[in-house]
Structure 1
Amino acid sequence: MNPTQSLPQPSLSQQIVVIDDHEMILDGVVNLLKTKYPDAAVRVAQTRQAGQELIDSLTPSLVVMDLAIPERTGSKPLAESGVGLIEALLRQYPTLNIAVLSANTNPLVRLKPQIDNHEGGFTVSDKGWVAESILQKVNMALARLYPSRLRSTRG
C-alpha cells in the first residue's frame, strides 16, 4: 500500500510558507501547492530573516524551503542560512512540518539528531524531481512522517 494515499490535506485555515530566493522556483512551487491544496493560504519569503518573521507571525502548518537562501536581502545565498533556519525552527516549533526542497541536501547531515527527534513531519526532496514526487514528500511532511518513521510503520 502507498503510505501517502490517505494523508491529510490542508484545510482552508492552514497556512503554508515557501522560502526560496529564486523567483522561478518560488513561482513554480507556489503554483504546484495552490493547485494541489486550493484551500490553503500559501505565503512566500526569499530570505532567512523574512522566512523566520513570516513563520513567527503565522505559525504555519507547513514550511517548504530551499537550503541555499540569503540571510537577508542583498546577502549571498548560502546553505548555512537555510540550515541555521531549520535548526532554529526545530528548536522553536517542535511540531512544525518541514519539507526541504534543495539541489544539495548534504548540509542537513549535521542536524540528523535534531531531525530524528522532531515531532513534526520532515522530508527532503531534490529540486530536480518531478512535481508528483515533490508533492508526495509534501504530503508526507503534512502527515508528520519522515523516512525513519515511515520505515517503522511498514512492519
Structure 2
Amino acid sequence: MKKYLNGKASPIVLLVDAHELSLSRTRDLLISSYPDSKIITAQSIEDILNKFPKLKIDLIVMDILLPNSPGETPQTATGINFLTHLLGNYPKLNIVIHSEQIRSLVPMKQKIYSHIGGFTVVNKTLASEEIITRVNWALEQLTYVKDIKDIKVIDSELELKPEWLKLVNLAFREGFKDKVIAKHMCVSERMVRHYWDRVQEALNIDCEELKNQGKNLRVITQIRAREAGLID
C-alpha cells in the first residue's frame, strides 16, 4: 500500500464541487483509488466552513466555481476568494484545483508558488488516470501548475487584488454601474474609478489610445478580463 503524508496511507480528503454529478463522479474516483481514505464532501463555502475546522484535512480537492451558500449561483470569484483564504491561513495544506476554470488562477501564480503544501491543478476534462496522478502529486507535497497558462494581456508582476476581482465581477457579472458598485464595496465612487485604473493597467489596456480610436473602454475591459479568465 502506497503511503503519503508522514507514512499515512489513508488520507482525509475534503472534496468540494457545486455540481452533484461531478461531485459524485469524483468521489467514486477517489474512493476507487484510495479505498482506505475518508472522503468528506461539500458543495458551497458555507458547507466547507461548517466541516473544515472540525477535521484534520490532508487534502482538499476543489472546483473554483462555487456558491457562498446552498441555492446561490456558483461564481469563480467566490472560489478564488476562498482559495486565497486557504493559501493565506493554511500554508501546509495540500490542494488540488479540479476545475474547468483553470485560467482564473493566473493572477494567483506567485501565491501558489509560495505555498508550502502540495498544489496541483487538473482540468475536469482530463482522463481519470491523469486526475489521480495530480492528486498523488499533491499528497506527495509536489507543485504542478503547468496548466495555468499565462495570458499575454496580464502583467505577470502586477497581482490582481481581491477588491479588483470583486469590481470586475460586480460590473460584468452583475451589471452594476459604478455608483452601485461603490455601495456594494463600501467605498467611494472615486475609489471605484481608482480600481478601474488599476485593473486596466493590469490588463495592459491603453485607455488614451482606445479613446482616440473611439472605442468603448468598459467593453474592451470586459473583453480583456474574459480573455484573462477573470470572468466566465
User: Is the pair's TM-score, using the shorter chain for normalization, greater than 0.5?
Assistant: yes
Q: Which has the higher strand share?
A: 1
TM-score for both structures, normalised by structure 2: 0.58
Structure-1 separation of matches of 2:40 and 2:74: 20
The answer for unaligned runs of 5 or more in structure 1 is: 1-5, 149-155
**DSSP 3-state at the match of 2:39:** strand
Deviations 1:104-144 (A, max 9, x none): 11111121121111000000000101100000000011011
1:40 is aligned, of 37, 40, 64, to 37
Larger Cα Rg: Structure 1 or Structure 2?
A: 2
1:101 is aligned, of 98, 103, 117, to 98
The answer for unaligned runs of 5 or more in structure 2 is: 146-232
Aligned to 1:83: 80
Aligned to 1:3: none
How far did 1:74 drift? 1.7
Structure-2 separation of matches of 1:15 and 1:79: 25
Q: How does 1:19-58 map to 2 (within 5 A)?
A: 19-58=16-55
Q: Which has the higher helix share?
A: 2
TM-score for both structures, normalised by structure 1: 0.86
Structure-1 separation of matches of 2:77 and 2:3: 32
Structure-1 separation of matches of 2:111 and 2:50: 22
Q: Confirm or deny: 8 A CA contact 1:7 1:140 kept in the other structure.
A: no
How far did 1:8 drift? 2.7
1:16 is aligned, of 13, 16, 25, to 13
After superposition, the Cα gap between the structure-2 partners of 1:43 and 1:134, relative to the gap in structure 1 and judged at 3 Å, is same
**DSSP 3-state at the match of 2:141:** coil
Structure-1 separation of matches of 2:49 and 2:110: 22
- Which 4+ residue blocks in structure 1 deviate beyond 4 angstroms? none
CA RMSD of the aligned region, Å? 1.6
Q: Confirm or deny: 8 A CA contact 2:3 2:9 kept in the other structure.
A: no
